[in-house]
Chains A and B, each alone.
Chain A
């Protein structure tokens, strides 16, 4: 059965999920669907949005909320024909975006298992911000090319 989205739902997504990584794919799918309807480029739909949003969600779930399923993650997406703005809010205390972003391409970091998430988010989005607003918020902005 296909659920028809209202005009507001076609433009916006506003959901809370428990801190469980199994919810990530479903959220990514819902955001990609909205961006596809706004004719975002195929590369954005297949690479930039899925990977950057997955990183933001997994950071919120695993680091911000410490994988505690009693805590929730609030996801908001606002998409129009010119850009996508995503906000991922967790219940953590936040972090310093610049200090925590490492370069995984250096010889000393290349063989590390972790440390690529924030780097990818920043390379795949046009703008990444981190601020506190009723929780720890990461805002990702991608202009439709």
Chain B
């Protein structure tokens, strides 16, 4: 084989993969430019860090959501999964359990919630939308029943200090999510699991005949989503110092929006870690800018809706040109 044949595909590879991400990046730049012009102090270092911090929880959830969406599914239960994880971790800490153990238990709850979703989808064969709609209510109910509807207050200072700390001037939450993003990128691009995910979502029948472990792949995607929901929950209760059973309401919609803006297709088989992160930052930057402009929350909602629709329209118009 000649070297020429090995070199050419490489440019093809870069072109094919970064085009959609470049589009999302342009979208982010446009939004930053608009707010930079309209809002004094928008580009202040402190505000930019604020945007990242405010985007971090949604980005964390959206990274898990991206895996599930690529597999051809959807996870509507991330908010209640986070709530259940949060109240259980918090009540353990309040009861005096060392916090690494309590946090570990919270992660285990997240994995368990994802496992239940995954089994119902992959082994029982139910539709992902309906399964996670059902567990959305179920997990929320469990969190409410467990706490009697009351917030769990008085988290230990040591735990709170960790999640409120900064490294190199960046909040720990941002750094954690950055690591998660790198890990997610590696998983998607560099591991067999990533290839399986794209294949299962892209053509399940063909993937099955090619020997891809369909059920295992799908279950793993839901478990990753559950785990990242639990991580988001720990970040939030660390910041707030309390865990409410109703936390994470409508988180799933922001996460889906970030993934979709970033180029994930709800038909499955398509999605990008870089795009999802950019999508989450777009949503975060927009909310931050509108808040600084003192725009009523009604209009923030409107802006969110329009951005999602605009991203999808641009997607539709540019598709089929590659």
Q: Does A associate with B in a complex?
A: no
List chain B positions with a Cβ less than 8 A from chain A: none
